[in-house]
Amino acid sequence: MRGSLTLGKILGIPIKLHSSWFLVAALVTWSLAGSYFPQAYPGWTTTTYWIVGAATAVLFFTSVLLHELGHSIVALREKVPVRNITLFIFGGVAQIGTEPRTAGGEFRIAIAGPLTSLLLAGLSSLLSLSVASTAVMTAPLAYLARINLMLALFNLIPGFPLDGGRVLRAILWSLGGNFRTATQWASRVGRGVAFLFILGGMSQMFLGGFLNGLWIVFIGWFINNAAQSSYQQAVLRDMLTGLTVRDVMAQQCITVPGDMRLDRLVADQVLGGGQRCFFVADGGKVEGLITLQNIRAVPTGRRAQLAVSQVMTPVDAIFLADSDEDVLTLLQKMDEADVSQVPVTDNGNLLGMFTRGNLLQYLRLRSELGV
C-alpha cells in the first residue's frame, strides 16, 4: 500500500487513498454517468447524469469506508490495533497491527463489516422509498441499497481473506483450537474460490464480456495471492512465537570513529567488508548510528568532505530494542516506524543490531535444519 495519500483520521485511525483508487473512482463515475443512469432513468440532461454519477460514486466509496470502519471499531474493542484504512482498486482494507487473540474476537471483527453493509443497504432502501417522487435522489439511494447488499454478500463468500473466509477461520479455530491449522484450511478454501473466480472471468471474456471477465479474473488473482500470503504469515507467526531479539540479533557490530571520512567508510567497510550499519563512538561512548540510508542521502562527490559524525543519526534519535523483547512485537514496531534495522540494548548497554536480514538468515537455517 505504498504510494497512498493520507486524508485524515477517524477515531485515531489514518484514512488513506491508494493511487489505484483514483482509477477505479473514475471508472465507477464514468460507468454510472455514461451507462447505468441513462438506461435506468432516461430523459435527464448530460450534466445531471454526471453530477448524480459523481455523487453516487462518492457515496459508494463512503460505504466501503464505513464497512472497513465497522471492522476497525470492533477490532479496537477487542484490543487489536488498527494501523490504517486504505481505499484502493479492489475496495478497501483495514490494516490491523496483530491477529485477534481468540476465535471469538476474530469472528466479531470479521462479521462487523458485512453487518455494517447490510445496515447501510437497509437505510438506503428506506431513504429511497421516502423520496420516491424525486428521481435524482431516488437513483443514488436505490443504487447504494443494491450495491451495499452485494458488498455484504460478496464479502460473506467463505474464501479467505474475504470476511466470510475469516468467519470460516474463526469457526475452525474455535473447533480445533489451532490458529495455524484453521488459517491453512481457510486459505485453501480461499484459493479454491479464487480459481473459480478466475475460471468464471475467463469464460465471460470468451463469451463476449471481455472487460467484466477481466475484472473478475483480477479479483480472483488478488484473492489467491492474499490467501497464500495470509497462510505464510500464520506459519511465520508460529515460527517466531517465543523468540526474543537476543536469539536473532547480530552480536558483533563494527564501531567507527566520528571523525572518519564518509568515503573511507564506504570503501573500507561497506564495499570492502560488506557491512551495512555502524555504531559511531568516540572515547568509548556511542554517539550515534550510521546506515546505508544515511550514506545514500549524501551525493557521491561530497562524501570525501564529510565526517561520519556529520551524517549519523544521533543516539537519542535512534529507535532501540530491548534484548529480551519478543521478535513479533519488535517487527510490528519496526513496521510502524518504517525501519529495517534496530540497535539492541540490555540495561542501557548496546549489545548489537537486529535486522530483517538477521531474521531471514535465522529462519533459513531453521528451515534447512527442519526445526
- Cα 307 from Cα 259, distance rounded (Å): 5
Instruction: With CA atoms as reference, report the closest residue to 277 among 255, 307, 259.
Output: 255
Exposed/middle/buried for residue 117 (C-beta within 10 Å: 0-12, 13-18, 19+): buried
- Cα 219 from Cα 269, distance rounded (Å): 47
> Residue 85 contacts by C-beta under 8 Å, 6 or more apart in sequence?
10, 13, 14, 15, 16, 65, 68, 69, 72, 92, 93, 94, 95
In contact, 341 and 353? CB cutoff 8 Å = yes
Is omega for the bond preceding 42 within 30 degrees of 0, making it cis? no
| Candidate list 68, 106, 325, 368, residue with the active-site label | 68
CA diameter of the chain: 83
- Cα 330 from Cα 305, distance rounded (Å): 36
Strand, coil or helix: what is 290?
strand
CA-CA-CA-CA torsion sign (162, 23, 32, 59):
positive
- Cα 297 from Cα 315, distance rounded (Å): 19
**Neighbour count for residue 85 (Cβ, 10 Å):** 23
Strand, coil or helix: what is 238?
helix
Catalytic status, residue 106: no
Catalytic residues: 68
